Amino acid sequence: MKITTATAEVLNDLIQINNDRIEGYEKARHELKDGDADLKTLFLNMIDESHKYKLALATEVIALGEEVETGTTNSGKIYRAWMDVKAIFTGHDRKTVLNNCEFGEDAAQNGYKMALEEEELPANIRELISDQKASLRTSHDEIKRLRDTQA
């Protein structure tokens, strides 16, 4: 029972990170200018990505017989790695927005890394988290690449 609860806590922390990632990219989209349609589309894709990850994580929490976290509260230790990001998703030019998004992606990577450091995770959960982390790394690298092309 204790391992089940601990696993659900880790999963819920990752759900919260994805909830905040969605909020961050929504805010970033609204900060962009009309000429930044490419970034708006990219951010929509990242929002969709986090919705997909939340669903997969929530499915596992339910399978464990635990309650799914729906908010963006700071109840978990992994989530705390993301806390400062909410305030960072500000700025109005492409480079600033991309800098802030990269910071957020770094925080998400750190949260997923911390989750994978939990020793008691079942193999299937560890694989799910590892796969999501790898995919989020691709998103991070795309944000970094775009940022680095800005003057």
pLDDT at residue 29, as a whole number: 86
Instruction: Please say whether the beta carbons of 21 and 46 come within 8 A.
Output: yes
pTM of the model: 0.85
What is the mean pLDDT of each successive set of 10 residues along the chain, which is 151 residues long?
83 91 84 88 96 97 90 48 49 77 87 93 96 96 93 68
Q: Residues 53-89, buried b or exposed e (16+ Cβ, 10 A)? A: bbebbbebbeebebebbeebeeebebbebbeebeebb
DSSP code at position 82: G
Pair of tokens at residue 17: 């990170």
The neighbour count for residue 28, using CB atoms within 10 Å, is 25
Closest by Cα among 120, 132, 133, 5 to 61: 5
pLDDT at residue 101, as a whole number: 85
Pair of tokens at residue 92: 């109005």
pLDDT at residue 74, as a whole number: 53
Q: 74 to each of 36, 57, 88, how far by Cα in Å?
A: 32, 17, 17
d(CA 134, CA 80): 21
Q: Given CA atoms 46, 50, 51, 53 in this order, what sign does their dihedral have? A: positive
DSSP H helices in 64-122: 85-88, 94-116
